[in-house]
């Protein structure tokens, strides 16, 4: 466990029951009631790696860092990391979709279809109103599909127990 100060004031002995409850498990909580416990698990480590790698890749792509073999390897590794993450997320969604009730899955599919229609009509309508250019379905449909799938099924990646 990792402890982070929430407030910089320290108190002598805590008087609330919450810190007394954790006194044996987290000895540092016995000294202050302004501490917050943060669990470090796989998703926290994954998120930290993702953020750091994204920042490094942005620096490389925007020519802030000199381009050499190492920077090319970092960018290619980042792209592979993103593709594997997307495939793993898709696999987990399909795997966890089998464990939910049919009514819940039906609601999600209907929401998905509504969002695909909304996210594909909205850019086409805005293009027609403001640019008066040709409407490009090959550009709007993949974006609409991805946004709708993410909005409808994103929580299935972290689903733990089987719903009845």
Phi, psi of 2 (to 5 degrees): -125, 130
Q: Residue 38: its pLDDT value, please? A: 59
Q: Residue 34: its pLDDT value, please? A: 53
User: Which pLDDT tens digit goes with each residue over 71-126?
Assistant: 889 999 999 999 999 899 889 888 888 888 889 889 999 999 999 999 998 888 88
SS3 3: strand
Are residues 83 and 65 in contact, defined by beta-carbon separation less than 8 angstroms? no
Number of H helices, E strands in the chain: 5, 2
User: Which pLDDT tens digit goes with each residue over 22-72?
Assistant: 444 444 444 445 555 556 777 778 888 999 999 999 988 887 777 788 888
The half-sphere exposure of 120 on its side-chain side, counting CA atoms within 13 A, is 17
- Distance of alpha carbon 47 from alpha carbon 39, whole angstroms: 13
Q: With 70 as the cut, is the pLDDT of residue 161 above it?
A: no
Q: Residue 79: its pLDDT value, please? A: 95
pLDDT band at 2 (very low <50, low <70, confident <90, very high): very low
Q: Residue 87: its pLDDT value, please? A: 93
Q: Residue 124: its pLDDT value, please? A: 82
pLDDT band at 13 (very low <50, low <70, confident <90, very high): very low
- Distance of alpha carbon 54 from alpha carbon 45, whole angstroms: 14
């Amino acid at each position: 466990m990792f402890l982070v100060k929430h407030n910089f004031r320290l108190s002598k002995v805590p008087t609330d029951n919450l810190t007394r409850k954790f006194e044996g498990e987290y000895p540092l909580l016995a000294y202050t009631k302004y501490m917050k416990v943060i669990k470090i698990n796989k998703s926290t480590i994954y998120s930290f790696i993702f953020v750091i790698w994204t920042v490094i890749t942005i620096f490389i792509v925007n020519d802030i860092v000199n381009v050499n073999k190492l920077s090319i390897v970092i960018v290619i590794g980042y792209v592979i990391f993103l593709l594997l993450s997307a495939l793993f997320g898709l696999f987990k969604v399909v795997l966890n979709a089998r464990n939910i009730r049919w009514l819940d899955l039906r609601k999600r599919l209907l929401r998905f279809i509504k969002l695909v229609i909304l996210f594909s009509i909205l850019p086409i309508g805005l293009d027609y109103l403001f640019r008066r250019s040709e409407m490009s379905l090959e550009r709007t449909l993949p974006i609409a599909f991805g946004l709708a799938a993410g909005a409808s099924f994103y929580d299935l990646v972290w689903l733990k127990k089987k719903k009845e």
